[in-house]
Amino acid sequence: MEKIKKNGLDSTSEFTYNQSDVDRIVANAVSQAIKQYEGQRSHLDNCIRGNEISMPLSEGDNDMYHRQKLTINGVSQWRSFGSMQELVDMVAAAVRADCEQKSSTVLFGDYMLDWYHKYKERTLSPDTREGYVSIMKKRILPAIGKTPVSDITVADVQLIMDGLKSASYAKQTKSIINLVMDAAISDELYFHPNPTKDRRIVMPTTRKARQPVVGDDLSTILEFLPRMPIEYSRILVMLIMTGCRRGEALGARWEDIDWESKTIHLQRVVRFRHNRPEVSEKMKSRAANRTVSLWDNFIPFLGQPMDTGYIIHSNGEPLTETQYRHRWNAIIRLLKEVGLEERFTAHQLRHTYATIAANSGNVPPKVLQGMLGHANFQTTMNIYAGLDNDRVRESSQRLSNEYAKLSKESCSEIAVNKSSKSAAPSGI
């Protein structure tokens, strides 16, 4: 316990605060007020130790009042008091009232956004930033955005967690609330333990895993690939052949390809902001800037090579988010017409590439980490840990069989025919 002992003005009684979060603020304010008082009365002695404020008051005339200019809550004002106890009570009451008023008027949503823009946004990569904004907008603001910071409870956090099915998404959401509440405690807007750290909170246990596209669905994609319009096959081929992320595929340019070594340098990414594409050379991580091999039998499905320009484009420009979604939905629709059983995402094709490579037994984990552009080696090792060996081995064999069927000559002929006859409308 912290004790501040003073020779007071009129008695030997003792004043005590227990050291809670608010009391700590009050203790500091009282200490400052006493120091101001001491400045004019050098005979008073100050000693700080322990966790309580102890104020012995000196003997004297109880009716004697002192008028002193004090700074309370940042405002200088003249105050009258007849004893050291009165001084302590007066300062403590004013500071407590200010703390309560301050915390009750700040809404969690306003405070969270202010914290994000001032302190957090600049530290995040563009992809992580996008995830933060999505979670705050879709999950946190609708739930507690209009609740005063001082009123946030463990029950509020639990209610948000109960509305989430994915364990990883819940963990990210809780992490953001935790950081905001820590900041609120530092800013003296919240005077209780951080509610996100309460052990009573029950987190979702279901982890929504991104399954690779395997079995009959993978065969359907490969078998139908030669009959797809070039605008569609380019997207699939870039994802299947390189294992790249969606944004990396959309940011790839013809001049990134080294035709002699049959490799492509993935060095830029397209991100969507209010539907518009934003091209950036700031990748998800330093490891994401990498060079990967192109497969001979799949190169023709990219169509007629160009000297420059985006490989996947609309009238020479990167796709907007709407254009990308139109093309992706058209791909899924065409594949469903020929037997696709389950809809899949671009990231699932990346996972297909990674899983089959890992299962082949020919790709060491560190090599695969470089191929996928993982900054964290554990991310790569999680792929190995989650292998469904029998099913993936079967898919790997099917993939090898399909490669064998797609001779370079026949693929070139198909690609030429597609580029002249089957091109999708340029605006889609």
How many residues are present in the chain? 428
Q: How many helices (H) and strands (E) does the chain have?
A: 16, 9
What are the two backbone dihedrals, phi and then psi, of residue 298, each rounded to the nearest 5 degrees?
-105, -20
Gyration radius (Cα) of the chain, Å: 33
Taking a C-beta distance cutoff of 8 angstroms, is the pair 185, 99 a contact?
no
pLDDT at 25: 66
Taking a C-beta distance cutoff of 8 angstroms, is the pair 44, 37 a contact?
yes
Burial 150-174 (b: 16+ CB within 10 A, else e): bebebebbbebbeebeeeebbebbb
Q: How far apart are CA 79 and CA 210, in angstroms?
A: 67
Kindly tell me if the per-residue pLDDT of 94 is higher than 80: no
For the chain, the domains span 2-104, 108-197, 215-421
Please state whether 277 falls in left (phi above 0), alpha (psi between -120 and 50) or beta.
beta
pTM of the model: 0.53
Q: Which of 195, 34, 1, 20 is nearest to 96 (CA)?
A: 20
pLDDT at 131: 86
Encoding tokens for residue 260? 């002699």
Q: Does domain 215-421 sit in CATH 1.10.443.10?
A: yes
Chain segment 62-85, per-residue pLDDT in tens: 444 566 666 665 666 666 666 667
Largest CA distance in the chain: 109
Chain segment 114-163, per-residue pLDDT in tens: 999 999 998 988 778 888 998 999 999 999 999 999 899 999 999 999 99
Same CATH topology for 108-197 and 215-421: the answer is no
By three-state DSSP, how is residue 313 classified? coil
| CATH architecture classification, 108-197 | Orthogonal Bundle (1.10)
In the chain the first and final C-alpha atoms are separated, in Å, by 70
Taking a C-beta distance cutoff of 8 angstroms, is the pair 37, 75 a contact?
no
Which of the residue ranges 68-72, 266-270, 291-295, 367-371 has the most confident prediction, judged by mean pLDDT?
266-270
Work out the pLDDT band at 232, boundaries 50, 70, 90: very high
Q: Note the Cα 154 to chain centre separation in Å.
A: 22
Alpha-carbon torsion 345, 346, 347, 348, what sign? positive
pLDDT at 118: 92
Q: Please name the amino acid found at residue 35.
A: K
Q: How far apart are CA 303 and CA 333, in angstroms?
A: 22
Q: Which of 139, 141, 134, 137 is nearest to 108 (CA)?
A: 141
Taking a C-beta distance cutoff of 8 angstroms, is the pair 393, 359 a contact?
yes
Measured at the CA of 89, the angle between CA 84 and CA 94, to 5 degrees, comes to: 130
